[in-house]
Structure 1
Amino acid sequence: MPLARTGDLVAEAAAKRTAVAAFNVITLEHVEAVIAGAEAATSPVVLQVSENAVKFRHGRLLPLARAAATAAGAAAVPVALHLDHVKQDALLRQAADAGFSSVMYDAAHLPYRQNLAATRAVADWAHTQGLWIEAELGEVGGKGGRPPLDAHAPGARTHPEEARRFVAESGVDALAVAIGSSHAMTTRTAALDHHLLGLLDRGLNVPLVLHGSSGVPDDELAAAVGGGIAKVNIGTALNIAMTGAIRTHLADHPDGVDPRAYLTEGRRAMADAVTRLIGVLAPTV
């Protein structure tokens, strides 16, 4: 089916008080696993390509983007493409032509006024290209190998009134909020600030996004969705599943050299993780 649009999937999820799962992909096996897992769950899904993933692919966006778009076109469920955590203007401006309907522009590391000014400029341009824009206020830590922010550090939480002004003045379509999760967590021990989420949900008129969700336990994820999160970003959980399956296969087959054998196991493990996590975020009645 034709590529879906991220904004449409998020709006539909928000209206039902569920969340659309958005999985970060690095390899073709990631892409195939996410689609297979979403098909098993009979659920729409978002494929996300981050700026760091593009750097890994020698700075070239199109090879992975074209592969993702082709796989999405053959999927039995709606699939959208999202360009994630973009800081480079040159990469941002490739998004629409590469098949992406949405971009997360990341200026959360900047002071508030600089974040607002940069995000406003990007949103103005992006909307002329038909792109749905997500931004972040309050820095979700753990990006780029950096340690997570202390829970009480300045900027480690999204301030509700500041968020209301930011959304109104920036023109963004969705806001990633810092409520206690962190990127690249390999243990599921994050505790979310549900009181803060409630204030943000009541105070903002755009969908809310949760980053760093791999470190959030299922019950906390479900509560966050019930509290207003409409898009949930997941990356590390897939990598944990893939790497674990490959390690097990290679341990059991120490003389094996055909990558298809262990990549099959890694892809299957990722697909199972996708199906399970979608069930947490958008359970069927």
Structure 2
Amino acid sequence: MPLTSPKELLADAYRNRYAVAAFAAHNMEMMRAVVEAAEEAGAPVILQTTPATLRYAGLESIVAMARAAAEGAKVPVALHLDHGDTFETVVRCLRAGYTSVMVDASRLPFLENAAFVAKVTEAAHAAGVPVEAELGTIGGAEEGGAGEEELTDPEAAEEFVRRTGIDFLAPAFGTVHGVYKGEIRLDFSRLEAISRRVGLPLVMHGASGVPGEMIRRAIARGVSKVNFSTELKRAFVRQLRNYLSNHPEETDPRRILLPAREAVKQIAKRKIEIVSGVVP
């Protein structure tokens, strides 16, 4: 089937209190692994690329690989721009065939953030593409996460959605990008208050390393899309190193990459099962 819009996928997830898993896919091996995992789990999936991945692999190549994966899949597959950093990048992705975009201007002051996101939303909606945006600060693991003042204020979230017209909101409620170094502290009461205020599917960034039970609690409070990246990258690299350590004379890239692809698939399948409610 062709690439799918996440708008319908997340609307159904929001109504029925499950979530769609979204995975950072940096190359063909990771894309294949994620789509195979989704097929085995019998669930839709979102392939995500950042501007850095576009610079690495090339926009046209990414779209061609994603389209090929989607057309051969038995489940819906969407292609999403994650953390778009400029208006120009968003427009390039819209023209190339991305089925959703996320713009990250969260470090700007509130009104500047909202104005920039509103501009992106106008362009994306004209192309029939939904928009995700972040409000608050979802820190990195090395930064120890966001402080209280950087978490998303429910009242501000409501105003942000009204000003921007976005389709999905990524609030800051204690998650971090990367794998947690210490205790995981998620503000579920804040998340629930945000959900009541905005009435939109919410997106959980920084889900790598978060226990399934906590992810399910977030889903019960309005999260309809859950992002994973670091765990997949670590598994991919770990298996590459392991294979090369055990087969130092191997020169066939296909044999070297296959175990890494399988490792990514197994993790992705487990995450899909967690967010779709198949396993706790």
| Residue 271 (structure 1) shift | 0.6
| Residue 69 (structure 1) shift | 1.2
* Distance in 1 between residues matched to 2:185 and 2:144, nearest whole Å: 14
Which residue number corresponds to residue 210 of structure 2?
A: 216
**Match runs of 1:217-236 below 5 Å:** 217-236=211-230
| Residue 49 (structure 1) shift | 1.2
Note the residue ranges of structure 1 that are not aligned, 5 or more in a row. none
Which of these residues, 132, 140, 147, is aligned with residue 130 of structure 2?
Answer: 132
Q: 1:189 to 1:26 in 2, by over 3 A?
A: farther
Identity %: 38
- Tell me if 1:95 matches 2:93: yes
TM-score w.r.t. structure 1 length?
0.93
What is the root-mean-square deviation of aligned Cα atoms in Å?
Answer: 1.7
What are the superposed Cα offsets for residues 82-120 of structure 1, whole Å, 9 maximum, x if unpaired?
Answer: 111101222111223322111001100111111011111
* Distance in 2 between residues matched to 1:188 and 1:5, nearest whole Å: 36
- Tell me if 1:277 matches 2:275: no
Q: 1:36 to 1:159 in 2, by over 3 A?
A: same
Which residue number corresponds to residue 244 of structure 1?
A: 238
| Residue 197 (structure 1) shift | 1.0
Q: 1:279 to 1:189 in 2, by over 3 A?
A: farther
Q: Which runs of 4+ in 1 moved over 4 A?
A: 186-189
Contact 1:39 1:77 in 2 (8 A): yes
What are the superposed Cα offsets for residues 137-189 of structure 1, whole Å, 9 maximum, x if unpaired?
Answer: 001112xxx9436542532x000000011101111111001111111226685
Tell me, what secondary structure is at the counterpart of 1:37?
helix
Counting matched residue pairs gives: 279
Which residue number corresponds to residue 113 of structure 2?
A: 115
Contact 1:20 1:231 in 2 (8 A): yes
* Distance in 1 between residues matched to 2:206 and 2:118, nearest whole Å: 24
| Residue 207 (structure 1) shift | 0.8
Amino acid at match of 1:16: N
Amino acid at match of 2:199: N
- Tell me if 1:148 matches 2:146: no
- Tell me if 1:41 matches 2:41: yes
- Tell me if 1:253 matches 2:244: no
* Distance in 1 between residues matched to 2:18 and 2:174, nearest whole Å: 20
Contact 2:24 2:47 in 1 (8 A): yes
Contact 1:123 1:170 in 2 (8 A): yes
Which of these residues, 72, 75, 81, is aligned with residue 73 of structure 2?
Answer: 75
Tell me, what secondary structure is at the counterpart of 2:7?
helix
Which of these residues, 184, 191, 214, is aligned with residue 185 of structure 2?
Answer: 191
